[in-house]
Homo-oligomer: A and B are copies of this chain.
Amino acid sequence: MEPFSQQFQQRSGERAGERNAAHTPPRFDADFRARLYDLLRWRRDVRRFQRVPLPDGTIERLIGLACLSPSVGLSEPWRFVLVDDPARRAVIRACFETCNKEALEMQDPDRAALYARLKLAGLDDAPVQVSVFADRSTAQGKGLGRLTMPETLDYSVVTAVHTLWLAARAEGIGLGWVSILDPARMAEILDVPQDWIFIGHLCLGYPQKEDDTQVLEREGWEHRHAPEGVVLRR
């Protein structure tokens, strides 16, 4: 694996080249938008991964793109923890199993079997695992925009996860967001600073197959509803 800093340098190099055209705002045409809508439609929460590793530098490059996301007051509070250590991965898996068992007990008995069958975690197969945190103590941004809503720091990190998700999908890489975890325990397992809030644990890798419907929809768990129902006028 090439040195970490070099991976980011390559990315910076790419950006430097682009900077020449940086002052001409891009025009996006109907063709691009049609592909963008495809990307939105075909983004999936992937749970079944091939065990093939991603090419060197891929996750660093995707994180670089995620860092282009919006953040409150330009605070950039996203923190990415690349989890490679097998021992830590095993403890995270155990944390998932405990939480998943509790979640199972909360479900109606007739749904529990279905729930158990849904493969909810790619924790065993995904070659790349990234835990994402929000640094609630960051001075960056000088507090702008977050006095009444400090949770906007967490929201900024969520947009970074979403960007990473779309950028990954655009190169055929799947992402699964695992939320059946204990946030305090995750911070402990990964030994991160005290003010970091756990946002989610991401599994990345090449998907076993590319689905056009959501796994929960396919398995009869839930279906998408029409947008009309979620709009009010005031």
Binding site for B on A (CB under 8 A): 4-5, 8, 11-12, 18, 22-23, 25-28, 32-33, 35-43, 45, 60, 63-65, 67-70, 72-76, 78-85, 88, 99, 102-103, 106-107, 111, 115, 120, 131, 140-149, 151-152, 154-155, 158-159, 161-163, 165-167, 169-172, 177, 179-183, 190-192, 199-200, 210, 212, 214, 216-217, 221-228, 230-234
B residues in contact with A84, CB < 8 Å: 233-234
Contact A148 B76 (CB under 8 A): no
B residues in contact with A182, CB < 8 Å: 148
Contact A222 B67 (CB under 8 A): no
Question: Which of chain B's residues has its CB closest to A83's CB?
Answer: B234
Contact B37 A35 (CB under 8 A): no
Q: How far is the CA of A213 from the CA of B74 in the complex (A)?
A: 12
Q: How far is the CA of A154 from the CA of B144 in the complex (A)?
A: 21
Contact A231 B82 (CB under 8 A): yes
B residues in contact with A233, CB < 8 Å: 81-82, 84
Q: How far is the CA of A64 from the CA of B98 in the complex (A)?
A: 37
Instruction: Indicate which residue in B27, B36, B74 contacts A36 across the interface (CB closer than 8 Å).
Output: B36
Contact B35 A232 (CB under 8 A): no
B residues in contact with A8, CB < 8 Å: 226-228
Contact A149 B231 (CB under 8 A): no
> 8 A–B contact pairs at CB < 8 A?
A70-B162, A76-B224, A142-B222, A145-B180, A149-B181, A149-B183, A155-B200, A162-B163
Contact A227 B64 (CB under 8 A): yes
B residues in contact with A212, CB < 8 Å: 22-23, 25
Instruction: Indicate which residue in B78, B163, B171, B217 contacts A40 across the interface (CB closer than 8 Å).
Output: B163
Question: Which of chain B's residues has its CB closest to A12's CB?
Answer: B226
Instruction: Indicate which residue in B65, B78, B210, B224 contacts A74 across the interface (CB closer than 8 Å).
Output: B224
Given contacts A28-B171, A107-B142, A142-B111, contact A76 B162 (CB under 8 A): no
B residues in contact with A18, CB < 8 Å: 41
Question: Which of chain B's residues has its CB closest to A182's CB?
Answer: B148
Instruction: Indicate which residue in B70, B79, B180, B190 contacts A148 across the interface (CB closer than 8 Å).
Output: B180
Contact B79 A232 (CB under 8 A): yes
